[in-house]
Amino acid sequence: MYHIPIIYENDEIIIINKPQGVSVQGGAGIAHPLDKEFPKQLGHEIFLVHRLDKDTSGLMIVAKTRKAASMWTKLVASHAVQKEYDAVCIGKFSKKSGTITDTVSEHGVLKNAITHYTVTAEKSIVCADGEMVLLSFVHLVLGTGRMHQIRIHLAKQACPIAGDDKHGNFVHNKLLKKTCGVKTLLLAATSLTLPFDGSSHTFTIPLPDSFVFF
């Protein structure tokens, strides 16, 4: 089993740092999901407020009661909670910052989606076969929270996230795995800003070890 780091806790919610590779919710073929394993660690039930992809690590809110889950789910949906991410992308963006507004298909329905991005660094990697791969380090702020939104939006910019095995550049992923040991999706939820006790509170975490080569 795995241990879930707790970043903050009050009477209503717990902010956790979800490890990469952990599914948030159980289902067919899913072993040891967070909604089943984390209660064992705590000794009491939890209620999901929002989700992160299995391959995305980072900050996530869970609630201690159904009432708190209902309230915080509405706060997240109303954008009262600001979610920020960091990613390593393959390629070079045409602009150093901007807003991506391409629609995203969610359960077969096209929905509006908004992702704000800022490129904070670029780096060239000479791979094992001599090919050069340009990487961009990107900070992202979500305007909406569609399924796989960030991964789809960045892929549509021709700058997919390194290690993305669904929307990514499979040839370059293979080269980066061989050269730099990139084995996972390089996307992490690194900052959460949320309202409680009459003010706004921001929680941040360091980048995962998988980002260390950048």
The residues annotated with a catalytic role in the active site are 53
In whole angstroms, give the CA distance from residue 165 to residue 186.
11
Element (DSSP H or E) covering residue 1: none
Long-range contacts formed by 97-100: CB under 8 A, 24+ apart: 99/143, 100/153, 100/154, 100/156, 100/157
In contact, 190 and 15? CB cutoff 8 Å? no
Token pair of 31 as six digits: 């072993």
Q: Which residues pair with 48 in a beta bridge?
A: 62
Half-sphere exposure of 8 (CA within 13 A, CB side): 17
Q: What residues contact residue 139 under an 8 Å CB cut-off, 6+ apart?
A: 84, 85, 86, 117, 118, 120
